[in-house]
């Protein structure tokens, strides 16, 4: 019998338009000096929609518009997204502009207004240049070519160094189900999303409430387990559109292939989360922390996020310094239940601590391991069966340089 993971296959050539019925577009309007800055996702039929949002109490106008829209019917048919301007902290004018973006798309494609989600990312506190945005919306021509997907992927980026996309397939009710994601994010990622946008398309038929609940659960284990710099922003979200065009029987948690769907959604979200962490502003290394033996999974994630979020751990990794004291300190202030006498810790294959006692290791071997682009830190608390992961990046000189001149 196939395992759940075997049922979920990565499509290395897939993109945001691989699921049936989805089209995208991206172009340059001039809101940014270069690179595409306006994008759109379109589903040929209304899709059940689910979303999770930043936990910042100050939330930008586009996010509020999207929240309200999804709340009406739980459906979307289009997403309009711009980069370069967050349309955050822009008062009544900002809300008016976000609603205007929604209406422009709805009018052009003859959709209900609330079938259009709005997303923005970029500089906070500037009013939108609606002449450029309006002109750009008029020129958008969604399609299914690889070049359309690439143009959309670029349109949502800000300080990102690269686009982030992934695609998976599985079989449910004898039908091929496809899911794909496109994301942006490289700074202000902590701890419950932040300056990031994640868009997921899938042709599966699934109940909207079930989709919402599952996305929230998986977000806790993926997007909410990444950190770059400890800041939480005002705008951002992960949004899923499921248009049902695969024509499977509507999926519920009682379906025999439910686990295959969960694996596909979790793999999609985890891929994007790790790509965001790896593309941290100025980052040179992806740090993955895996915790075992916690009292429960929540405590495991607390420890993992505490370690990967520690500025001192980040700088040690950047400097290829196996300073385990910084790791044990981050475990101690994580807020998780621990026994200070039972902790094991390792980087890669090199054991640093056993039962909270230092283990002799080769500094040169550890330094050589820390020169790699993907650094793994393993921790065992020996308290229970809880497990969890978190992802982040090193903290470099370039992080300061990039953020010191972000608006210039």
Query: How far apart, in whole angstroms, are the C-alpha atoms of residue 47 and residue 202?
Result: 9
Q: Which of 13-17, 31-35, 53-57, 213-217 has the lowest mean pLDDT?
A: 53-57
Answer yes or no: do 88 and 236 share one domain: yes
Residue 405 reports pLDDT greater than 80:
no
Q: With CA atoms as reference, report the closest residue to 352 among 335, 338, 369.
A: 369
Answer yes or no: do 26 and 75 share one domain: yes
CATH of the domain at 56: 3.60.70.12
Residue 3 reports pLDDT greater than 50:
no
Answer yes or no: do 241 and 382 share one domain: no
Answer yes or no: do 168 and 313 share one domain: no
Average pLDDT of 160-171? 91
Q: With CA atoms as reference, report the closest residue to 3 among 300, 334, 257.
A: 257
Answer yes or no: do 235 and 304 share one domain: no
Q: Answer yes or no: are the C-beta atoms of 351 and 324 closer than 8 Å.
A: no
**Structural domain count of the chain:** 2
Average pLDDT of 385-405? 78
Answer yes or no: do 57 and 201 share one domain: yes
Query: How far apart, in whole angstroms, are the C-alpha atoms of residue 156 and residue 40?
Result: 10
Question: What band does 55 get if pLDDT is binned at 50, 70 and 90?
Answer: confident
Answer yes or no: do 149 and 260 share one domain: yes
Is 195 annotated in the active site?
A: yes
Domain finish residue from 278, 306, 325? 278
Q: Answer yes or no: are the C-beta atoms of 143 and 22 closer than 8 Å.
A: no
Domain finish residue from 252, 278, 304? 278
Q: Containing domain of residue 223, as a range?
A: 4-278
Domain finish residue from 230, 256, 278? 278
Answer yes or no: do 167 and 61 share one domain: yes
- Of the candidates 66, 121, 178, 195, the residue annotated as catalytic is 195
Q: Answer yes or no: are the C-beta atoms of 249 and 255 closer than 8 Å.
A: yes
Q: Answer yes or no: are the C-beta atoms of 389 and 304 closer than 8 Å.
A: yes
Answer yes or no: do 252 and 311 share one domain: no
* Burial letters 117-134, b for 16+ CB under 10 A, else e: bbbbbbbbebebbeebbe
Answer yes or no: do 231 and 379 share one domain: no
Q: Answer yes or no: are the C-beta atoms of 334 and 306 closer than 8 Å.
A: yes
- Tens of pLDDT along 243-291? 999 999 999 999 999 999 999 999 999 999 888 887 766 678 889 999 9
Dihedral sign for Cα 223, 101, 80, 279, please: negative
Question: What band does 194 get if pLDDT is binned at 50, 70 and 90?
Answer: very low
Q: What is the pTM of this model?
A: 0.81
Answer yes or no: do 261 and 345 share one domain: no
Residue 230 reports pLDDT greater than 50:
no
Distance (Å) of CA 108 to CA 34, 140, 212: 26, 10, 28
Pairing, β 38-53 against β 22-27: antiparallel
Q: Which of 21-35, 175-189, 315-329 has the lowest mean pLDDT?
A: 175-189
Dihedral sign for Cα 67, 73, 75, 81, please: negative
Residue 237 reports pLDDT greater than 90:
no
Q: Which of 72-76, 232-236, 294-298, 331-335 has the lowest mean pLDDT?
A: 232-236
Answer yes or no: do 213 and 298 share one domain: no
Radius of gyration of the chain (CA): 22
CATH of the domain at 340: 3.10.20.340
Q: Answer yes or no: are the C-beta atoms of 128 and 87 closer than 8 Å.
A: yes
């Amino acid at each position: 019998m196939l395992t759940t993971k075997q049922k979920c296959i990565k499509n290395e050539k897939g993109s945001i338009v691989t699921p049936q019925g989805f089209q995208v577009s991206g172009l340059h309007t001039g809101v940014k000096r270069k690179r595409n800055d306006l994008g759109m996702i379109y589903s040929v039929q209304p899709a059940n929609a689910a979303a999770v949002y930043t936990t910042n109490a100050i939330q930008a106008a586009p996010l509020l518009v999207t929240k309200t829209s999804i709340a009406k019917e739980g459906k979307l048919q289009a997403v309009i997204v711009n980069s370069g301007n967050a349309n955050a902290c822009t008062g009544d004018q900002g809300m008016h502009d976000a609603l205007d973006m929604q209406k422009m798309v709805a009018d052009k494609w003859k959709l209900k207004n609330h079938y259009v989600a709005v997303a923005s990312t970029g500089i906070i506190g500037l009013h939108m240049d609606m002449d450029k945005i309006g002109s750009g919306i008029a020129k958008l021509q969604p399609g299914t070519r690889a070049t359309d997907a690439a143009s959309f992927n670029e349109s949502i980026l800000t300080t990102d160094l690269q686009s982030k996309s992934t695609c998976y397939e599985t079989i449910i009710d004898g039908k091929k189900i496809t899911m794909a994601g496109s994301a942006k994010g490289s700074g202000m990622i902590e701890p419950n999303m932040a300056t990031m946008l994640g868009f997921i398309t899938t042709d599966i038929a699934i109940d909207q409430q079930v989709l919402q609940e599952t996305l929230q659960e998986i977000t806790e284990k993926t997007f909410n387990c990444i950190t770059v710099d400890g800041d939480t922003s005002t705008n951002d979200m992960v949004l899923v559109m499921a248009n049902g065009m695969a024509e499977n029987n509507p999926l519920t948690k009682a379906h025999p292939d439910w686990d295959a769907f969960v694996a596909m959604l979790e793999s999609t979200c985890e891929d994007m989360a790790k790509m965001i962490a790896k593309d941290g502003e100025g980052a040179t290394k992806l740090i993955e922390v895996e915790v075992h033996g916690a009292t429960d999974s929540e405590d495991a994630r607390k420890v993992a996020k505490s370690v990967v979020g520690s500025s001192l751990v980040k700088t040690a990794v950047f400097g290829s310094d196996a300073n385990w004291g910084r790791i044990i300190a981050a475990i101690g202030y994580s807020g998780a239940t621990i026994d200070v006498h039972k902790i094991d810790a390792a980087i890669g294959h090199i054991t640093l601590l056993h039962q909270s006692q230092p283990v002799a290791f080769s500094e040169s071997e550890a330094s050589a391991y820390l020169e790699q682009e993907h650094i793994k830190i393993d921790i065992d608390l020996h308290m229970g069966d809880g497990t969890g992961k978190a992802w982040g990046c090193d903290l470099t000189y370039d992080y300061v340089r990039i953020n010191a001149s972000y608006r210039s």
